Amino acid sequence: MEPQEYDEMLRTLLRIAVQQDAINQDLRTCIQEQRDFNRQQVAINQDVKTTLARIETLVARMIASGDNGRDA
């Protein structure tokens, strides 16, 4: 292999490595953003479950208090 070919191969490998580093950084950023979103979503889901349980309780009370034996 001639020195020029060797140098060109090294330059190409260096460009590939730099590009791969940029890709890896983008992926790390995306992963962190996804983790943050997932944490927020878990909190939202818990709030929804709590709200649903409260609504179910209120509806059950409304049905129980409306059903006083007058319907025969």
- For residue 35, tell me if it sits in a domain: yes
Token digits for 30? 């995306």
Full-model pTM: 0.65
pLDDT at 69: 57
pLDDT at 64: 85
SS3 8: helix
Q: What is the pLDDT of residues 1-60, one digit of tens each?
A: 899 999 999 999 999 999 999 999 999 999 999 999 999 999 999 999 999 999 999 999
pLDDT at 46: 97
Distance in angstroms (rounded) separating the CA atoms of residues 41 and 48? 10
66: pLDDT strictly greater than 60: yes
- For residue 5, tell me if it sits in a domain: yes
Return left, alpha or beta for 69; rule: phi > 0 is left, psi -120 to 50 is alpha, else beta: left
Residue 35: which domain range? Answer: 1-65
- For residue 72, tell me if it sits in a domain: no
pLDDT at 65: 80
| Residue that has been written with the tokens 């490998």 in this structure | 13
Number of independent structural domains in the chain: 1
- For residue 19, tell me if it sits in a domain: yes
Distance in angstroms (rounded) separating the CA atoms of residues 40 and 46? 10
